[in-house]
């Protein structure tokens, strides 16, 4: 069983402890090699995530708190390694504030070890000569500074922030979820959403989620008209988890595709549940939708035939246009209006119509996300 080394794990012990610090926005293979060198050459290792409001991580949505939590998760199976956070909000900004910053650093070290600080030897690994010079002026004798040459690993967090996809393999897997481009395919029933999701994702070997509601109905052997508020609650939770699992998938190569989300489900609930049942779901919908972020939403209007698949309520065919208007309204209400691209080509046959919409989707991915899908003309 994997040993979980989380925040509740005991403090570090040993005669010699290695220390690395940084912004980690994001954590990448260069950082990881430095951390592992520190761990393998000492009794234990402490990783200190530092930063402040508005720092280079915070500017791209990677706050200090998020980076701290991501680092803890990234190393939850490493024995003798602990992650700490150093908040720099009350410290003069770099290159000033070395005295204050060093005091915070020493305090953080002392809080994360089991033994007596003065009786323990520490080595702090740095990759900038200036850091070595400034720290050595201020550290006690039992804390040494080792300058490391990271030129053999040619990557920087700045390069990753500027073009995450180009440097995808250099980003720690936990941090990849932050940089993942998320594409939602939405629309009324029987518009070919699920097929489009699969084919777009497989065209670039990207992960994709399936429609949880369909899997749920098939497993429970129930039809649309039998659904209750409890079933819809399961849809919300199940789809959210399915989408999140694909973001965290090892196969994530920078983009993930989702077949349905909470907004799509909410529109169905509005149309087909009673007012009383719908009100029971409001809090769950709001909490789930508040956590959703999308880089592109591909919406298929009801331009296709309504097909009886054995589970679909055929009486709902006449409400497809109402449903389409409902999800468009919700996307606007929740601030996603500028993420939407309509896939509305019809064609002379169903096959031609699907291919035209596929081409629209391919063009949208390239135009809005700079993701190119090579396809035959």
CATH code for position 138: 3.40.50.620
Residues 60 and 209 in one domain: no
Residues 262 and 285 sit within 8 Å (Cβ to Cβ): yes
Decide if 112 is inside a domain: yes
**CA–CA gap between residue 187 and residue 365 (Å, rounded):** 18
Q: What is the pTM of this model?
A: 0.86
Instruction: Give the number of domains in the chain.
Output: 2
Scored b (16 or more CB within 10 A) or e, 210-245 reads: bbbbbebbeeeeeebeebebebbbbbbebbbebbee
174, part of any domain: no
Domain boundary among 161, 193, 213: 161
Give yes or no: residues 94 and 125 share one domain. Answer: yes
Q: What is the pLDDT of residue 320?
A: 80
Tell me, yes or no, whether 195 and 336 share the same domain: yes
Whether residue 256 is found in the same domain as residue 356:
yes
Residue 121: inside a domain, yes or no? yes
The reply to whether 116 and 202 lie within a common domain is: no
Strand 16-22: give its sheet, edge to edge: 81-87, 44-51, 16-22, 121-126, 143-147
Last residue of a domain, one of 109, 127, 161: 161
* Alpha carbons 200 and 374: distance in angstroms, whole number: 11
Give pLDDT tens digits along the chain (377 positions).
444 445 556 899 999 999 999 999 999 999 999 999 999 999 999 999 999 999 999 999 999 999 999 999 999 999 899 999 999 999 998 889 999 999 999 999 999 999 899 999 999 999 889 999 999 999 999 999 999 887 777 788 999 999 998 999 999 999 999 999 999 999 887 788 999 999 999 999 999 999 999 999 999 999 888 999 999 999 999 999 999 999 999 999 999 999 999 999 999 999 889 999 999 999 999 999 999 999 999 999 988 776 555 555 545 566 788 889 999 999 999 999 999 999 999 888 989 989 999 999 999 999 999 998 886 66
pLDDT at 189: 77
Say what the pLDDT of residue 303 is.
82
Q: Is 305 part of any domain?
A: yes
Shared-domain flag, residues 59 and 190: no
Q: Do 128 and 20 reside in the same domain of the chain?
A: yes
- Identify whether residues 259 and 190 lie together within a single domain: yes
| Residue 341, strand partner residues | 298
Predicted local distance difference test score (pLDDT) of residue 107: 95
Helix (H, G, I), strand (E, B) or coil at 168: helix
Same-domain status, 134 and 250: no
Are both 155 and 184 inside the same structural domain?
no
Domain limits at 216?
A: 180-369
Q: Which of 161, 194, 214 is the endpoint of a domain?
A: 161
Verify that 145 and 254 share a domain, yes or no. Answer: no
Question: What is the pLDDT, as a whole number, of residue 192?
Answer: 87
């Amino acid at each position: 069983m994997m040993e979980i080394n989380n925040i509740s794990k005991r403090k570090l012990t040993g005669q010699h402890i290695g220390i690395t610090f940084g912004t980690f926005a994001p954590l990448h293979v260069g950082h990881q090699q430095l951390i592992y060198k520190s761990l393998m050459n000492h009794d234990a290792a402490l990783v200190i995530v530092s930063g402040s409001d508005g720092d280079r991580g915070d500017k791209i949505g990677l706050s200090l708190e998020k980076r701290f939590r991501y680092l803890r998760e990234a190393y939850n199976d490493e024995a003798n390694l602990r992650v700490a956070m150093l908040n720099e909000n009350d410290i003069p900004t770099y290159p000033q504030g070395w005295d204050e910053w060093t005091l915070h650093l020493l305090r953080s070290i002392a809080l994360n070890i089991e033994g007596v600080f003065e009786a323990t030897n520490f080595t702090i690994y740095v990759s900038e000569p200036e850091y070595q010079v400034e720290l050595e002026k201020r550290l006690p004798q039992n804390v040494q500074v080792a300058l490391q040459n990271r030129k053999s690993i040619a990557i920087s967090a700045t390069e990753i922030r500027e073009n995450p996809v180009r440097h995808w393999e250099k980003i720690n897997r936990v941090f990849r979820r932050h940089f993942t481009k998320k594409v939602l395919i939405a629309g009324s029933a029987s518009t070919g959403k699920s097929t489009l999701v699969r084919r777009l994702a497989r065209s670039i070997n990207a992960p994709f989620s399936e429609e949880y509601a369909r899997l749920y109905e098939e497993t429970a052997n129930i039809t649309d008209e039998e659904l209750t508020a409890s079933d819809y609650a399961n849809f919300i939770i199940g789809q959210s988890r399915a989408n999140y699992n694909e973001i965290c998938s090892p196969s994530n190569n920078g983009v993930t595709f989702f077949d349905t989300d909470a907004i799509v489900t909410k529109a169905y609930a509005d149309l087909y549940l009673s007012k009383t049942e719908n009100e029971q779901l409001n809090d769950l919908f709001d909490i789930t939708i508040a956590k959703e972020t999308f880089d592109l939403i591909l919406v298929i209007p009801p331009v296709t035939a309504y097909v009886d698949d054995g589970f679909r309520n055929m009486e709902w065919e006449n409400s497809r246009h109402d449903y389409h208007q409902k999800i468009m309204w919700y996307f606007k209400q929740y601030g996603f209006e500028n993420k939407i691209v309509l896939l509305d080509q019809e064609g002379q046959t169903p096959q031609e119509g699907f291919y035209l919409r596929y081409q629209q989707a391919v063009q949208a991915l390239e135009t809005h996300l700079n993701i190119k899908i090579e396809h035959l003309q």
